[in-house]
Amino acid sequence: MKISIFGMGYVGAVSAGCLARDGHEVVGVDPNPTKVDLINQGKTPIIEAEIGEMIASAVQGGTLSATTSVQEAVSGSEVSLICVGTPSQLNGNLDLSFVRRVCEEIGAALKEKDGFHVVVARSTMLPGSMRNIVIPALEQASGKVAGVDFGVCNNPEFLREGTAVYDYYNPPKTVIGETDERAGDVLVQLYANMDAPLVRTSVETAEMVKYTDNNWHALKVAFANEIGNLCKALGLDGHKVMEIFCQDTKLNLSSYYMRPGFAFGGSCLPKDVRALIYKARSMDVETPVLNAILPSNERQVQRAIDMVTSKGGRKVGVLGFAFKAGTDDLRESPMVELIERLIGKGYDLRVYDRNVSLAALTGANRDYILNHIPHISQLMVDSVDQVLAFAETIVVGNGAAEFRDVVTQARPDQQVVDLVRVSTATSGNGYDGICW
């Protein structure tokens, strides 16, 4: 395939070297003549393991060259990769001036070109940047329509400095955000030999995936450092603690807790977060990440309350109020907090949870239900049908199997607020998911 790559910085140079080694005809484009000259001399413009040898070999073999001419690069290629920088502004927002300028230049070149050309953004950009900046700039400069006259994709990179060549050939995943299937098909060919999961999705989702990855990595570093600092104050080896922590790939290093939804609760997590924060404070160890966990969790409870109150109906039915499905445990259940606050706001409620109903008769929670939350126990009903018959707004509070058909069972005049994703529906037409 004939490929032009815009921006001979870190991502662009690595992509150019790897694609050229794979046998593609690659031309690098950069306004800096020094970088262009270096590549044409078989030298690397960046410092990165293996890339110098790859560029030298590719230039010698005739699969890699560089130019300052956008017109030349676009007219001689089928796919253009945008790999220019997106630095921070003083307020934290991105400076997309380089992206906009390159898109205008590529668009002007597309105006003079026949045939279907695919423009692929690899630069890291916030969700909405493709729709609001990249595509309009390309269309305005070319006079053509994205998805019809040319294709546009977002293809985030997952390269780490120092191991970029290894990461290129061993990616954790390949994500293609496509505006149209034809453009996505072209990009799929580029990664046909990659041994990694291939995900085709919307450009907005692809944009967000990159930011989710990087913010998660940043959070992991900050979390590990706070645990390490506290360990040191306690006379413990933070590395040893985290080595043991990382051996758990069923819960700690897994997708188990990575599904957006309602707040956490139960007898362990809230209590243990509070205890560790107290211990850190008593030893004068600052833990801003740990300190933010409970306020963030409380904000998710408030978000759910805001969703319910925004629906307008004063009659609210709650399905599931143990802190998770399959248990009768009400200790620090965020659903109990939600119910109590709605009662305090004057809402008329009916609540149902099969496990809690049984616990009220025989279980360990009997005393708690009857003596600590009697105002809630008086609102309990015996079936899903009773809740559906009563409510104007239905709140799904846990993922019990008997709640899975609630969305289809609800009447047209009822609103459903889903806190656990019991349905694959998207928000709209009476259905609203808390994070989807």
Active site residues: 268
**Token pair of 94 as six digits:** 């991105």
| Number of neighbouring beta carbons within 10 Å of residue 83 | 25
| 3-state SS assignment for residue 347 | coil
CA 254/CA 274 separation, integer angstroms: 24
Closest CA to 353 of 305, 391, 302, 401: 401
Residue with tokens 């927002």: 93
**Token pair of 85 as six digits:** 């920088």
**Token pair of 25 as six digits:** 């005809």
CA 81/CA 106 separation, integer angstroms: 10
CA 51/CA 62 separation, integer angstroms: 16
Backbone torsions φ then ψ of 125, nearest 5 degrees: -140, 145
| 3-state SS assignment for residue 3 | strand
| Number of neighbouring beta carbons within 10 Å of residue 289 | 15
Compute the radius of gyration of the chain from its Cα atoms.
28
Q: Do residues 396 and 377 touch, judged by C-beta distance below 8 A?
A: no
| 3-state SS assignment for residue 200 | strand
CA 319/CA 369 separation, integer angstroms: 16
Report how far apart, in Å, the C-alpha atoms of 216 and of each of 106, 212, 213, 291, 315 are.
Answer: 33, 6, 5, 17, 39
Q: How many CA atoms lie within 13 A of 131 on its CB side?
A: 12
Q: What residues contact residue 94 under an 8 Å CB cut-off, 6+ apart?
A: 86, 87, 88, 125, 126, 129
CA 30/CA 16 separation, integer angstroms: 12
| 3-state SS assignment for residue 358 | helix
